[in-house]
Amino acid sequence: MTTITSTTLADGRELLYFDADGAPQRVPTSDPRTLDPRPDTPQLRRDPLTGDWITVASARQGRAHLPPAEFDPLAPQTPSNPSEIPDDYEVAVFENRSPAFGPALGDLSVMTGVERSTVASGRCEVVCFSADRTGSFATQTPQRARTIIDAWAHRTEALSALQGVEQVFVFENRGVEIGVTLHHPHGQIYAYPYVTPRTQQLLTQARQHHGDLQGEILQRELAGPRMVAETDHWAAYVPFAARWPIELHVQPKRRIPDLAATRDTERDDLAVLSLRLLRALDALYDGPTPYIAAWHQAPVREDRDLVRLTWQITSPRRGTDRLKYLAGSEAAMGAWVGDIVPEAGAQRLRDALARVDADPATRIGEQAHA
């Protein structure tokens, strides 16, 4: 069992340490900094043309942007680096200092009229994968990946219980091409006060289908040409209508709504598979591939039987030195044009995965049992 230790930072934000099974009980160091008060909760504005909620969070303009390594805000604190985390750590999770949602909690206000606004209640957290200053989820050991998965599941359950939270989103952005502002290996968690547009679209299709839409898709993919990897508990495939040059969907074979519902055996399996897949992305072009690794989870309160847990990994990289940019059709009209045939993309990923599995330097299975 992962050991969890909770403490608070100097401005009252929560900080949690996650230590692997067998680690000694942690006694956290108090945060010695003097910090400014937390910024006001951002504003939510509803787009009257689409119904989408837009967060206006001006305080985020001042957040750290690619600071030098000696001033890494996610590294353990030193006298010369007053970072966010007082102690050395394995995995750490804390409330974001410049959140898009929160710190206020509560249900969305009922409003009328064309211009509707309210506070962007909810919560935003930072998940630090390692005390090391460089890397990503893909560079972690299987044991560390397992601890991170435990942290994701714990936070999904805890945030889902907060007042007014309607959906929990766990994700990692990797690479400056994606817009990463810190090189330290980390991800984020958003606890939204509404169900996101992407999930609303999925729910519309699921209701019209009158069945387990995602389950039927998974069964078709299991025996099809777009399957990339399969384990006892998980399946990874390129979707039939992939938008991005690199796109993977990873699903548990069992029908579950979110990370909190995963079993220990499923987490053990995922810890190895996730590293294999992400390292295969790097093997495509012999170098780090920028990506967004996003956990799509069911809404907290309703329609949990209509949405299956899915890990969606996407990358704009379409060549050794080429990226796909969301230009006119995609950005303005939401009408996508795919650059790579999904079946060909799946074959490229299978080939890359085979290279990863064959190379002693990147082979995950042996590392998992070392």
Catalytic residues: 186
**Residues comprising the chain, all counted:** 370
Provide the β-strand partners of residue 18.
4, 91
Is 92 in a helix, a strand, or coil?
Answer: strand
DSSP result, 279-320: HHHHHHTTSPPPEEEEEE---SSS-TTT---EEEEEE-EEET
Residue whose token pair is 């007082």: 86
Burial of 223: CB neighbours in 10 Å, binned 0-12, 13-18, 19+: exposed
* CB-based contacts of 9-12 (< 8 A; 24+ apart in sequence): 9/33, 9/35, 9/84, 9/94, 9/95, 10/34, 10/35, 11/35, 11/36, 11/37, 11/38, 11/97, 12/38
Give the orientation angle of helix 213-222 with respect to helix 197-209, to 10 degrees: 80
> Is residue 37 packed enough to be buried (19+ CB in 10 Å), middle (13-18) or exposed (0-12)?
exposed
Write the DSSP symbol of residue 85. Answer: B
C-beta of residue 313 within 8 angstroms of C-beta of residue 250: yes
Q: How many Cβ atoms are within 10 Å of 56's Cβ, its own excluded?
A: 12
CA nearest 85: which of 129, 43, 142, 47? Answer: 129
Which pair of structure tokens corresponds to residue 144?
């560390």
In terms of Cβ atoms closer than 10 Å to its own Cβ (0-12, 13-18, 19+), residue 27 is exposed
